[in-house]
């Protein structure tokens, strides 16, 4: 039987987003040249929340895009699982921009590798920084996040799910095993 444990509630998620937003502004000394790109599907709502938070604090509209990494996956020709191709929507050049890449969970790092390859096709950013809500470890590539909501040691076979009001109706992070 599957057991389910809530590891972050709505309030904790909200506080993490607020903290990450100020860390991003602190590290980049403001919002100049900042753009926020969310990875579909998990990262895109978090990215939007971060964008809204930063835009409000700075009183300026931060450009926002959505990236689908399916076409850049390293298992697309070998895996039997075929994820549905989603839309990418980045309507501006990334040339000389400071790109904040956002995902919900970082695990093996393979998604982020694919995302970075995809981003480079939209221009040559000044830098790319990674923000995630959960770092669950088990990296298979030399990649780390710049901004982390919570480090969550997990077993490889567990599932860590970030549920957000935009999709499931409530904000919580759960670990499922079994």
Partner 1 sequence: MKLSSKDVLGIKDLSVDEINLILDTAESFLEVSTRKIKKVPTLRGKTIINFFFEASTRTRTSFEIAGKRLSADMVNISAATSSVVKGETLTDTARTLEAMNPDIIVIRHSAAGAPHMLARLVKQSIINAGDGAHEHPTQALLDMLTIKTEKGRIAGLKVVIAGDIAHSRVARSNILGLIEMGAQVTVCGPAMMIPRDIDKMGVSVSYRMNDAIKDADIIMMLRIQLERQADNPFPSDREYSNYFSLNSRNIKMAKPDVLVMHPGPINRGIEIAPDIADGVKSLILKQVTNGVAVRMALLYLLAGGA
Contact residues toward partner 1 (CB under 8 A) are 68, 71-72, 76-82, 84-89, 93, 117-118, 121-123
Work out how close the CB of 95 gets to partner 1 at its nearest, in angstroms, rounded to a whole number: 10
Work out how close the CB of 158 gets to partner 1 at its nearest, in angstroms, rounded to a whole number: 26
Q: Is 145 helix (H, G, I), strand (E, B) or coil?
A: coil
Measured from the CB atom, the residue of 1 and 77 that comes closer to partner 1 is 77
Report residue 165 as tokens. Answer: 């009001």
Measured from the CB atom, the residue of 86 and 109 that comes closer to partner 1 is 86
Question: What is the rounded CA–CA span in Å between residue 17 and residue 25?
Answer: 12
Measured from the CB atom, the residue of 45 and 122 that comes closer to partner 1 is 122
Work out how close the CB of 177 gets to partner 1 at its nearest, in angstroms, rounded to a whole number: 28
DSSP assignment string, 32-101: TTEEEEEETTHHHHHHHHHHHHHHHHHTS---EEEE--GGG-TTTTT-S--PPPPPPB--S--TT-EEEE
Measured from the CB atom, the residue of 124 and 144 that comes closer to partner 1 is 124
Work out how close the CB of 56 gets to partner 1 at its nearest, in angstroms, rounded to a whole number: 29
Query: By the 8 A CB rule, do 125 and 94 touch?
Result: yes
């Amino acid at each position: 039987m599957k057991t389910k444990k809530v590891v972050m509630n709505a309030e904790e998620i909200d506080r993490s987003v607020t903290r990450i937003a100020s860390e991003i502004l602190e590290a980049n000394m403001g919002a100049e040249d900042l753009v926020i790109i969310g990875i579909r599907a998990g990262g895109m709502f978090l990215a939007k929340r971060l964008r809204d938070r930063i835009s409000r604090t700075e009183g300026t509209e931060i450009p926002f895009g959505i990236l689908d990494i399916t076409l850049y996956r390293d298992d697309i020709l070998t895996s039997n699982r075929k994820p549905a191709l989603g839309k990418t929507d980045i309507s501006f050049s990334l040339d000389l921009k400071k790109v904040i890449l956002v995902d919900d969970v970082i695990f093996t790092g393979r998604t982020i590798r694919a995302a970075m390859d995809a981003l480079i096709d939209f221009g040559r950013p000044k830098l790319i920084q990674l923000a995630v809500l959960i770092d669950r470890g088990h990296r298979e590539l030399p990649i780390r996040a710049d901004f982390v909501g919570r480090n969550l040691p997990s077993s490889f076979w567990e599932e860590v799910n970030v549920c957000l009001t935009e999709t499931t109706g409530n904000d919580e992070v759960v670990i499922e095993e079994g």
